Amino acid sequence: MSTDAADLARLASLLADETRAAMCLALLDGRAWTAGELAAHAGVARSTATEHLHRLIGGGLLAEERQGRHRYVRLADPAAAQLIEDLSAHLTPAVAPARGLRQAASSAAMKRARTCYDHLAGELGVAVADAMTAKGLLDQRAGFALTDDGLAWLTTDAGLDPADLRRSRRPLARGCLDWTERRPHLAGVAGARLCERFMAQRWVVRIGTGRAVKVTPAGREGLRALLGID
């Protein structure tokens, strides 16, 4: 077996466990979690969660941060987030009946709007990408590329820092296949910075402690003025 094949098999084995997969999916919210939080989310003992986290950190999918006596983990980098989201997009969403109103409401909220690591996803994320495309700011015909008008729009109308956009080694714009909408939303530096901007302006706020977000009344007005999104 070649070294590349062995390395790929090791990487795949990291996600071939339901507990580790659940942890990685939870971390797609872009935040740092404690081992205890991830243990509760995955429904396992803290000692079990710690063992799984050691494997994920050793395999390069997660990174560890320490603040005083507290230990946190997060996805290692945008590439790790992209890998997990891309794998999720290959799955056919399960159509199972929700167990109660709470679960049904949670699933509906995730479908409407959520974060995908550091950018917007769900119906909202796809709507932003579609609106940018309709306005000639984004070209989806051959991959995802910002047009000249799109670059200008990001630093004028959207108020992003042009120096910040240039200094990143990540792609400026990248299509990320949305696992609920089955269509792409905007990822890359542009997607991340727009998400940051919308949250800083309180146009979009988180719902609870998960990945779901919602558009505020101010956000509805702002998105309508900025992109014509109703």
In angstroms, rounded to a whole number, what is the distance separating the alpha carbons of residues 116 and 133? 20
Residue by residue, pLDDT tens for the chain (230 residues) are 566 888 888 888 999 999 999 999 888 888 889 999 999 999 999 999 999 999 999 999 999 988 878 889 999 988 888 888 788 777 665 444 556 677 677 788 889 999 988 899 999 999 999 999 999 999 998 778 999 999 999 999 998 988 888 887 788 998 888 888 888 999 999 999 999 999 999 999 999 777 899 999 999 999 999 999 98
In angstroms, rounded to a whole number, what is the distance separating the alpha carbons of residues 212 and 225? 23
- The verdict on pTM exceeding 0.85 is no
